[in-house]
Structure 1
Amino acid sequence: MFAKWINRIPRDWLVWMYKHMSLNRFKNWIVRRSQQSFLVAVLGVFTNDKGEVLLLRHSYREQEPWGIPGGWMEQEQPEEGLLREVKEETGLDVQIERLERAIRRSDPNCVDLIFKGTVQEGTFLPSSEISEMMYCKVGEWPAGLPRSQQLIISAILG
C-alpha cells in the first residue's frame, strides 16, 4: 500500500528528498517500502561423476514430486544458502561451479538463482521435505519432474 503512494511522487522529487534528507534510517525505510519485494530461491543442477543429474522427491508435492535441489534464501549469500539447503534436506555435500541462470517468477513474486555444480560426498538421509533421491541421465526423466525443470536442466547440461 505504502509503495503505491510513494510511487505516485515524481521520481525527481524522490531523488531530491533522498539527497537532502539527513536521517538515514528514515531514508532507508522509505526506500524499502517503495521498492518491489522478491523472495529469492536458490536451486542447483548437480551431477555425479557419471554426469547424471541429482533429483529429489519432495514429500509435499503430490503431482510433480521430483525436482532439483533448492530452497529459499535466508540472510546469507546465495551459494551459502544452496549449500545449506542441500545439506539440510539430503545430508549430501555439493560443490558449486557457477551461477547459470536468474529467472523471475510471479507466483510467488520471486527470483530463482540456478547454479551448476557437482555432488561431492555424503550419505543420503531422508528429511521431512525429501523422501528419496535419484540420479538420471539428461532426457531420461522420472514421471513427475516438471517440464520447466526438464528444460532448465537440458539447457544447462546441453
Structure 2
Amino acid sequence: MPSTTLRRRLLHLIQRVPRLFALVYYVYRFLQPKYTLGVIGIVFNEDGQFLIVEHVFHPKHPWGIPGGWIGRDEDPAVAVKRELQEELSLEVEVTHLLLVEKTQHNHIDTAYLCRPLGAVGKLSYELLSYRWTTVEEAPTLYNFHVRAVAKAAHILQQNQHNQ
C-alpha cells in the first residue's frame, strides 16, 4: 500500500487536474467486465397463485415470470414496475427484493416480490398469454424463477403467520 504522503500527493494531483482523473476513470470502466441485468416480478393473487406469462421469445421455457432488461442507469425496482406495466398493463407495488444471482455468462438476474394494484390488462407483443398458477401446477420454469417463487411464497407465509 502506498504511503500516506504518496496518497496525499495523488489526491492533490487529482484535485488540480480533475479531467485527467476522469479520463483514467473512464478507461478503467471500459476495461472492466460488463454484465447485462435482468429483472422479474413475482406477483401473487389473493388465492395464493402466482402470475406466469407465455413469452414469444423464450423457446426453451416459453412460460415464465414476467420481467425484462434493466435499462442503462435504471433502478432495478423501477425496472420491474416498468416491465410489468409494459408487458401486462399491470400496476404493482414492489415490496421485497428476493434474489440477485449470476444466472448466465455475464448476466445477473434480480427478482422482486410485487403486490398487484389492479388487474392484468392488454398484453404486449412479447407475450402470448398469461395465467395464475400454483407451485404444484406450474409448467417447467427457469431455475432462477423457481427459487424466486419459493422465496416469495416463504415471505408471504411468514407475513400471514405474523398477522
**Could you say which TM-score interval applies, normalised by the shorter chain?**
0.7 to 0.9
Partner SS, residue 105 of structure 1: strand
Q: Which has the larger radius of gyration?
A: 2
What does residue range 131-150 of structure 1 map to in structure 2 within 5 Å? 131-142=128-139, 144-150=140-146
**Separation in 1, partners of 2:147, 2:126:** 24
**Separation in 2, partners of 1:130, 1:140:** 20
Q: Which runs of 4+ in 1 moved over 6 A?
A: none
2:117 maps to which of 116, 120, 133: 120
- The structure with the largest strand share of the pair is 1
Matched, 1:155 2:151: yes
Matched, 1:36 2:33: yes
Q: Which runs of 5+ in 1 are unaligned?
A: 1-10
Structure-2-length-normalised TM-score: 0.76
Partner SS, residue 48 of structure 1: coil
Aligned residue type for 2:45: N
Change (3 A) 1:45 1:90: same
After superposing the two structures, state which structure 1 stretch, 148-157 or 121-130, moved more: 148-157
Matched, 1:83 2:81: yes
What does residue range 1-158 of structure 1 map to in structure 2 within 5 Å? 20-21=13-14, 22=17, 23=19, 24-74=21-71, 75-107=73-105, 109-142=106-139, 144-158=140-154
Aligned residue type for 2:126: E
| Contact 1:139/1:154, CA 8 A, preserved across alignment | no
Q: Which runs of 5+ in 2 are unaligned?
A: 155-163
**Separation in 2, partners of 1:63, 1:105:** 15
Shift of 1:62: 2.6
- The structure with the largest helix share of the pair is 2
Number of corresponding residues: 144
Structure-1-length-normalised TM-score: 0.79
Shift of 1:147: 4.2
